[in-house]
Structure 1
């Protein structure tokens, strides 16, 4: 009799425990689901924001293999390794150099090593150069052209303007869900920041901090931090 009562007591206790777990899950499940949904929303927002802010920069190295003597300017005929005049050219000490790009490429330097950055964001910085030493392909070697994507300072400023002038349109561009809100801030390498004013909201805010490489107008590749916030 005692054994039977003991078994019944165990079954009742087990049933109460199961009911408690179901009750607990019923309370926690909405918040768990909300948190998972928010994580997915934040991840999508991060991907779309970085895509919106990124530009492609082609980087080519050029090395002179013949001694130039007193030449202070070189000319490369048919430079098919570049496709535009939107360039920043630097020497091995990272000094920015003057250049002229019409059909040939002229570089104002007596250096024997150059790094050539090409991207629309740089614009055409050509200056008039004369009396340059003409080089043929036997006088120099080219490294592989690398096409890298970086966050652009210009794009960050443009995003801030869009946020302030057409927030609804920007949310559509970023595929942010209906009713969702977001904010952002980008901290540059020098600790200054570009971003939007933080809003005082009563709901939970979900945020993520991402370290990214960015490029400035002088083709400096630096490390910055993108802070993203979403709520609603």
Structure 2
């Protein structure tokens, strides 16, 4: 990869997600005729999708359970921990025994398109 320090380097992200702040428009691009040198595709977890899943838990529990492949005869709950340690999640009475829990570290894209660390905790019983 050759790069001249005299030229600007732009990283451009695309998503169908709507953000509260973008900070960049085509009008702010100094050289809109620049050539794309590299394309990388990856998937990210969006804060809005996590909130949507939590909402579905209350209104569409059985379909969500099937989508997440929770075994028949079991129940589940989950919560999400933001970078600032704030928790949001589902509310369900959990028995005191035979509960499997796992915390999964994730990087999520917040409402302003920032990549942040967080964690999803899933409990199945």
TM-score range, shorter chain: 0.7 to 0.9
Give SS of 2:95's match: coil
**1:144 matches 2:41:** no
SS at match of 2:76: strand
Q: Matched residue of 2:71: which SS?
A: coil
Q: How far off is 1:117 after superposition?
A: 1.2
3-state DSSP of counterpart to 1:176: coil
**Structure 1 position 134, deviation (Å):** 5.7
SS at match of 2:12: strand
Q: What's 2:62 paired with?
A: 168
Change beyond 3 A, Cα 1:134–1:148: closer
Relative to the length of structure 1, the TM-score reads 0.44
Query: CA-to-partner distance for each residue in 1:43-97, whole Å, 9 max, x for gaps?
Result: xxxxxxxxxxxxxxxxxxxx983xxxxxxxxxxxxxxxxxxxxxxxxxxxxxxxx
**SS of match in other structure, 2:63:** helix
Q: Distance in 1 between the 2:116 and 2:30 partners?
A: 34
State the aligned residue count. 118
Structure 1 unaligned spans of 5+: 1-62, 66-111
Does the 8 Å contact 2:26/2:32 carry over to 1? Answer: no
- Counterpart position of 2:119: 225
1:116 aligns to 2:4 (yes or no): no
The structure where strand makes up a greater share of residues is 1
* TM-aligned CA distance change 1:161 to 1:143, over 3 Å: same
* Structure 2 length-normalised TM: 0.76
> Closer, same or farther in 2 for the Cα pair 1:230/1:118, shift >3 Å?
same
Query: If each structure's helix is expressed as a fraction of its own residues, which one has the higher value?
Result: 1
Is the CA contact (8 Å cut-off) linking 1:186 and 1:225 kept in structure 2? yes
Distance verdict in 2 for CA 1:164–1:64, change over 3 Å: farther
Give the deviation of 1:128 after TM superposition: 9.1
Q: CA RMSD in A?
A: 2.9
1:129, distance to aligned residue in structure 2 (A):
4.8
Between the aligned partners of 2:49 and 2:12, the Cα distance in structure 1 is: 21
